[in-house]
Amino acid sequence: MRLRKDSFETLGGLPISPVPSADDVSSQPEIPGEAPYTRGVHDTMYRSRLWTMRQYAGFSSADETNARFRTLLNRGQSGLSVAFDLPTQLGMDSDDPLSYGEVGRVGVAIDSIVDMRELFDGIQLDQVSTSMTINSPAIILLAMYVAVGEEQGVDPGLLRGTVQNDILKEYIARGTHVFPPEPSMRLITDLIEYCAEHHPMWNTISISGYHIREAGATAVEELAFTLSNALAYVDAALSTGLDVDQFAPRLSFFFGCHNDFFEEIAKFRAARRLWHRLMVERYEPKDAKSSMLRFHTQTAGVTLTAQQPLNNVARVAYQAMSAVLGGTQSLHTNSFDEAIGLPTDQSVTIALRTQQILAEETGVADVVDPMAGSYHVETLTDLIETDAYALIQEIDEMGGALAALRMGFQQRRIHESAWKQTMDVENQSRKVVGVNHARMDDQPEIEGQMIDPLIAEQQHQKLSKLRAERDAEKATAALSTLTMAASTDENLFPLILDAVKSNCSVGEIMNALKAEYGTWMAPSGF
């Protein structure tokens, strides 16, 4: 019988056996909730507690985003995830000339503690967990969050959530880095050290494979580059004198979930097994949680199409199920209109309802390890682990993740994989419904959310008012002290917290650090 394809492989190029058997699978006995955690980090998984439904949201002003947060919480969301606008991600104030045209566009504009107060107005910070997708200025945004928690009277030990704080993937795949690698790593370790003592429930870094995958990496590359970056952070934290068990339990991960249903499930299983292996081999932690990989998942933005956008509802649902079958701890489901513009209230509600239907109507949350006994998934898990481990070893031979990115190694690999995927779509060896397959002339009229063009002026006015009314001498002193301390080994978090409380802006604090650290451009990989 003639087959549909000349060869069968995963999206990432792994071979697919037509009828996998027990002979194809590693024989190691594994139990959910026990090392190496292939089958899940909890023995009861979602039978005891569902994953956190954490929808990524942020646009325009702090007030408008606060309203969106309240809407999502009222409709059943169980955690918050903040999207910041591009100027905030780059540590620039809204009135910086380089911010022109970008204020409030792809996330919320946060210039000072005033905005952070408005963002969480009426939301008690000890009642929610909050994820903040922020990197170069992560230590500043967390300081603002901590300060608002103090104003609310929240016990610092009860603050829950994470800052992404993963600067290495910015150099590799995304580009919103500011400082050179070494001072960037110092800011990360300062945050880790401070939180280990003062905010023990806070996840101090979310090591992101998502953006690496969005840039074009395969599943194996996403896993290998992410875990290699994580090893660099562990080494950096250890160099400050911290014990591995002081901080490793609070490391978290962030992965994308692409279209290849079974490959993605296997990727998540391989990630847990491989992280446990790496931590035990290299650091010998005593706390079991130090080698336990916990992760957030976001469905793949890169798979969303502007053509026939309602098809994205189906894509997101399948990706979400794959993430749940893979054992994710929290999940964001993309809105169907994100290839057109910022999601509307209707589309974000559908995205949230997708998770709720998955949790309550499909039965997938009732089985601890629903993929147990699937020779196909088990085989893919073994293949991904083997290939990812080999790639991590290759990076190790270069001197680790930081040395490799200085050579442009990860960047080059991602470019090559992205090019191959693009060519596969162009020559139709990979079909994308609505793009190169099952196309239609008639398109539904879908309008994305529009951002008020006056938002930039409103932020300018707030900054002017802040600077006019604050204690200028106190603010100047806080910034000067921070610049001087940046050349020492002093932990900078308390000084940044003082600057935040002195009503210094994000841009002013970043400039105080730039005065010592400068800026840096990463190699492209070409």
Q: 202 near 160, Cβ under 8 Å?
A: yes
Confidence class of residue 331 from pLDDT cuts 50, 70 and 90?
very high
Domain boundaries in the chain? 22-28+36-59+71-79+116-409, 466-517
Among 132-146, 433-447, 457-471, whose mean pLDDT is lowest?
433-447
Q: Residue 310 — φ and ψ, nearest 5°?
A: -65, -20
Q: How confident is the model at residue 172 (pLDDT cuts 50, 70, 90)?
A: very high
Q: What is the mean pLDDT of residues 441-461?
A: 84
Q: Contact at 8 Å (CB) between 82 and 58?
A: yes
Q: Are 268 and 327 in contact (CB under 8 A)?
A: yes
Indicate the CATH number for domain 22-28+36-59+71-79+116-409. Answer: 3.20.20.240
The rounded distance, in Å, linking the Cα atoms of 140 and 238 is: 23
pLDDT(400) > 80: yes
pLDDT of residue 27: 66
Structure confidence at residue 236 (pLDDT)? 96
Quote the pLDDT of residue 447: 76
**42-79 tens-digit pLDDT:** 999 999 999 999 998 899 999 999 999 999 999 999 88
Q: Residue 2 pLDDT > 90, yes or no?
A: no
Summary mean pLDDT of the chain: 95
Average pLDDT over residues 143-169: 97
Average pLDDT over residues 155-167: 96
Q: CA-CA distance, 16 to 25, in Å (whole number)?
A: 13
> Is pLDDT of 7 > 90?
no
20: confidence class by pLDDT, cuts 50, 70, 90: confident
Dihedral angle of Cα 492, 494, 497, 502, to the nearest 10 degrees? -100
What integer pLDDT is reported at residue 78 of this predicted model?
84
3-state secondary structure of 155: coil
pTM of the model as a whole: 0.95
Tell whether the model's pLDDT for residue 210 goes beyond 90: yes
pLDDT above 70: residue 182? yes
Question: Which pLDDT band holds residue 113 (cuts at 50, 70, 90)?
Answer: very high
Question: Among positive and negative, which fits the CA dihedral 416, 420, 425, 431?
Answer: negative
Q: Which pair of structure tokens corresponds to residue 58?
A: 């942020």
pLDDT at 506: 98
